Chains A and B, each alone.
Chain A
Amino acid sequence: MLKLSLRNVVVGALLVSLVLLPIYAQLAHDRFMLTLFTRILILGMAAVSLNLILGFGGMMSFGHAAYLGIGGYAVGMLAHEHIYSGFIQWPVAILASALFALVIGALSLRTRGVYFIMITLAFAQMAYYIVSGISRYGGDDGLTIYKRSEFIAPLNLSDKTQFYYVCLALLYGSIYLTWRLINSRFGMAIQGARSNALRMRAIGFPTYRYRLVAFVISGTLCGLAGALLANHTDFVSPAMMYWTRSGDLIIMVVLGGMGSAAGPLVGAVALLLLEETLSGITEYWQIILGPLLLLVVLFARGGIDGMLNTLGAKLRTKVRA
């Protein structure tokens, strides 16, 4: 099924490198690297979840960070009430974000284009202000989590390497899930609705329900990423769901490439590493990042993923010639 192409080789190499990374970090005594990459994995998972609706479903959700926040706060609030079991925290995070996605999706999917973008943004900002206002859980200042989610021994999320691998497994699971979904009948239906919604209805598809289910799956996965993020930072705050965070997720998807299940992970790695290196060079790193993103959008329509595809095709014709 999978072809040997430049793109697949690069993505494959990335996936393998991420598995080996903790070993390297251990050998190089680079603890920071593990922390940085755990963050990349978690936000990568959020971007992968966004791509299911943005890239494949054509639904430009500008409020995806809300699910990060909801998943994160589910963990934070329960921990604050001394409920530490991950078997309670994580299902609550998943259910809460699924429910939120169902309500938001049911309302916003009746609109299209700019209206859809604005409605998803508005709901996310609403969630942001609601959380900012709950003083019991820290309000604006956020909430420190003193104990990470507890599972059965020997699984211990406070162990950085173990936590890294939990994040990695869930990320790869999300990519695999997305890949299965987009190639299934369900995936064909949502891609058809992206491509030509009128025609979909004319040939007999009730598109709304498929788009809604995709929206809920996407929000739920992102909520799970939120639960991971809360455990990673040992802290939740309204900033987790601020609209600029939603923007970051969109950038990861566009930068990495919307055309493949793993593209957003490539985007997350590229964006966060760029951010990390550039901010080490200058305080005004965004002045460099901005034009770089512009170049990608202008000259590489399919993001890094698309760039690799074009490059691979060129190499192939050269080899043949």
Chain B
Amino acid sequence: MSEPFSDKAMLQVDNLAKRFGGIVATDDLSLTVAPGELHAIIGPNGAGKTTLIAQLSGQLKPDSGRIHFGGADITALSMHKRSALGLARSFQITSLFLDLSALDNAALAVQAHAGHSFHFWRDARGEAELRDPARAAITRVGLANRADEPASSLSHGEHRLLELAMALSGKPRMLLLDEPMAGLGPDESARMVEMLRALKQEYTILLVEHDMEAVFALADRITVLVYGRVIASGRPDEIRANEQVREAYLGEAEVEGGPHV
């Protein structure tokens, strides 16, 4: 059934399927992300984009199909084990440690990958091994001056950046970004696009995003999902020219007055 594993792929998904009762959220979905590639997933609401991310990160178990990451079959692995392998996820709905400081948030992400946490005595906030990479990630996303504020006092845009900083803190090999632009104003969006453009040089990225302008500006490859099924996959110019995509997705978006291409 499944295709032989290609050693050129960073992430390979074969025949993935997931149902919730009568609803098919993921329908025989296959896709490959090459190392260094920024691969965008687009699709109308309810296309199963977040469900796909949840299965890739291990939050949801697929009903069938296989997921390979960096050559290893991770289909049965738990979330924390996938994360330990270098697959980092950012959340569509901001999911932070709101009562901890921004720097603490990032430091926890570093700590998660710094061996076990059965260290009972030493002050964790004084450990350079945790704080330095965390501070670097926070600085990288431009939040250095907010590092010691409680995460709850940061703005929505800053939360999105902190999300990204946390994903970076774990020294990932690949980023799964679930709508990093959600709810951002035009200026913040532009800043995020620049950030992703820079990150693209260093990381393999799977990007789920509604902002079409951002997607077509950043992506090396685009996969279009409709009702959990891949209807097209290719370079941005190929997707733009694809009749099926125009009909199924872009046309509908135009009718809604939504994202334009």
Q: Any chain B CB within 8 A of the CB of A191?
A: yes
Q: Which residue of A lies closest to B85 (CB)?
A: A204
- Interface stretch (choices B33-41, B67-75, B104-112, B194-202): B104-112
Q: Any chain B CB within 8 A of the CB of A4?
A: no
A192 CA to B166 CA, complexed, in Å: 13
On chain B, the residues within 8 Å of A199 by CB distance are: 91, 95-97
Q: Any chain A CB within 8 A of the CB of B242?
A: no
Q: Any chain A CB within 8 A of the CB of B8?
A: no
Chain A 185-222 against B: per-residue CB contact (8 Å), 1 yes, 0 no?
11111011001101111111110001001000000000
Chain B 77-89 against A: per-residue CB contact (8 Å), 1 yes, 0 no?
0111101100011
**Which residue from B81, B84, B95, B122 sits with its C-beta under 8 Å from A185?**
B122
Q: Given A204-B84, A205-B112, is A185 in contact with B119 using a C-beta cutoff of 8 Å?
A: yes
Give the size category of A's interface with B: 20 to 34
A186 CA to B121 CA, complexed, in Å: 8
Contact B123 A195 (CB under 8 A): no
Tell me if A's interface is mostly helix, strand, loop or mixed: helix
On chain A, the residues within 8 Å of B57 by CB distance are: 202
A189 CA to B88 CA, complexed, in Å: 18
Q: Any chain A CB within 8 A of the CB of B125?
A: yes
On chain B, the residues within 8 Å of A205 by CB distance are: 80, 108, 112, 117
Q: How many A-B residue pairs have CB under 8 A?
A: 95
Q: Given A185-B117, A203-B109, A203-B112, is A196 in contact with B124 using a C-beta cutoff of 8 Å?
A: no
B28 CB, min distance to chain A CBs, angstroms: 26
Chain A 24-38 against B: per-residue CB contact (8 Å), 1 yes, 0 no?
000000000000000
Contact A195 B98 (CB under 8 A): yes
Chain B CB count within 10 A is highest, among A181, A186, A203, for A203
Known: A203-B109, A204-B109. 18 other contacts (CB 8 A): A184-B121, A185-B111, A185-B117, A185-B119, A185-B124, A185-B130, A188-B108, A191-B97, A199-B91, A199-B97, A201-B78, A203-B80, A203-B83, A203-B166, A205-B80, A205-B117, A206-B78, A206-B80
16 contacting pairs across A/B (C-beta < 8 A): A185-B117, A185-B130, A186-B117, A187-B124, A189-B111, A195-B97, A196-B98, A198-B95, A201-B80, A202-B57, A202-B59, A202-B95, A203-B88, A204-B79, A204-B83, A204-B170
